[in-house]
Structure 1
Amino acid sequence: MLHEFLRNNREDLIERCRVKVNARPRRDASPGQLQNGVPMFLDQLIRTLEVEESTRPTESTRISGPAGGAQALSEVSVTAAQHGKDLLELGFSVDQVVHDYGDLCQAITDLAVERDAPFQVDEFRTLNRCLDNVISDAVTEFSYQRDEIFARKLAVESNRRLGFYSDELRNHLGTASLAFAAAKAGNLSLGGATGSILERALISLEKLIDESLDDVRLQSSDPAILDVFSLSKMIQEIVNAADPTASHGTCTLHVQPVDTSLGLVGNRERLLTAVAYILQDAFKFTKPNTEVLLTAYGAADRILIDIRDHCGGLAPGVEETMFLPYSQRGSNRTGSGLGLTIAQQSINANNGILSVRDVPGTGCIFTVSLPRHTLPN
């Protein structure tokens, strides 16, 4: 089996990857730099393959994420994002992020050929899925962090320009004041040389003010100038108020830890209420003795809040009408049928998107996607 092959040859594979990494220009990999990269991913790959051989194979997505490129919080996504961030801080490029994980795939293939180790098609399919997810998550976080650094540089440049603007404004105002004082003291005509100095100073002041007003108009719609609030605190408030026993007493709520550096911008109360509506809907339809899973995490420039229930899956056609007013998705007809409609409207009003994805035979996943912001220090 592939997981046994990987476990037995773990150190050899890591060393092969380190050799490949060090052979590339400007890339000298130390054990510390690789801590959140290849070794950790290799362990997650081994555990994924082991779970898929167990009686609960679908649980492997919590380790390595689903197939098909759908955004989802998993152990792989967290460590890959950290690895991408680490490489950016070390000054590497996005292609080096991709190569780091491609090296592992090549090392596994080379060693398998050398040992003449046969593997099943499903095992290679799992390997490809894990590699696809880890590369995607690492590159996504690398790109987001790079954009954040660029935005901070722009902010520094903007402050520098503001300092120059203030100095210019003070100089022109000083010139105008001196010219006016001289004209007043000497009872001079404004048609002379002193009047010309005053006129040029006033024209320069007018130009500076016009330019600054143009900048204000361009930035007036920027949501970054609004207050940013904590995603983790909002989720904690929702969880504290949530009641999984509202519909029946056998449902449990499981919440994944939330990165405390993640922030949101918008109407906090409306967003809090919207997510609470979705959570209560999940409690309502989840089958007895199952759980509702809530995860909130960053993915590139978005915040994703996933609420996964165990309703058994959606009936045909329900996915298309779920957010319509007075729509009901099951035999439980309690409530007005407006909760999800109100939630969608509130999320849309805050530049967000509410969607649902069916997991046949298991349940469905509601995803709230909102613009991502970093909390101020």
Structure 2
Amino acid sequence: MWAAFVIYTADSRIFWARWRHKCCGYHVGPDAPRTSLSVSKLPLRVRFGLFVAAIVAGVIGALGWLSLRMFERQVGATFWFALSGILIVTLLVDQVARRLIYRRLALMRETMQRAAAGQLKARVSIDGLDEIGVIARGLNDILQGLERLNEAVDIRVEAATEVFRQKSVAIADSHREMAMLNEELARAGRLAALGQAAANMAHQIGTPLNLISGYVQLLIQSSAPESASLDRLKAIQDQIARVTAIVRAALDSSRPPAIPRERADLGALVRRVCQMASPMLEDAGVQVEMLAPDQSAELLADPVQLELALLSLIANSVDAMASGGTLTVRLGRVDDRLRLEVEDTGSGIPPDLLAHIFDPWVTTKEPGKGSGLGLSIARQVIASHGGTIRVDNGPGKGAIFTIELPTAQGVHP
């Protein structure tokens, strides 16, 4: 009996050593390092099979030992009957384990694979109050939480995308309106230049024409009624009048046409211009500080022309702040007039140019970077609205443009 036990023990050690080397990668030999077998790293099915095999081996060993003892008493038939019963029970236990453990674990693994593939709506259809049922419900809760989190992220992404789209549309609109205003400002500059040239031409041509017309009139008066030169002098007088009319027509055509005024809010116009000029302000590193009361600031104006004037002031202030700065816009009321101040933190205007800064062709910019007509156009627009504009250097540095315009109530037809 003891010999059989020793042989069984030795065989078992050899079996376990070979099994460890084959399944777990452990080296077997006299120089092999001493390592412990971690059963917890094995799959559940293998661990359960080992458990059943250990039970069967123990029972067989015990029954073998009993059979040796009881063989003389003729109980061998009982031994084989018991062995058959143990095998049947083992098979039944394996089938029950397959149904209660293996299949349920396979369902959980399949669900986790589907979730890893992006199907967060996948759920484990396992009921029960045992440990596997608790794990399945926990997995379902985790998947449900992930699904809610994914939906929340999708909602936030959609909201951010919509905000980005709206801002992109607003920026595109601002660029388009800015381009239109720049084109209108350029057209106004061309008209102003043409008007200035026409005025100079009318003055330079009109004065000699008036002298010539006066002398011709004297010659006509001193000529005899039937003189041959009288008809020639009258023809000269008619041509002088025609040239004078042509000069006046050219001067009138260079003036902007009168546009009907409408009620407008000066604060809204200023905010609109700042919004349209936001790309230019951001590129120049200029921050806008708007100081405006909540009260109404209505006036009768041509919004397009007034926006052109305000844009000229803002562009002039931005050009004065080459390294960035702050543009402060103040809107207030003085009696029946509106006062708008545009202050920058630039280098200011040279004192010798303060009195001529609104004259045509006067500019503080380098040659090729400005026409010198922007502020002149702004003054013409402000004057056409019954207002005034002036400029001063700030107490520290920078320029302050002050505009005063009549309110809608202060305008008298």
Q: TM-score normalised to the size of structure 2? A: 0.34
Flag the structure with more relative contact order, 1 or 2, with Cα contacts below 8 A and sequence separation at least 6.
1
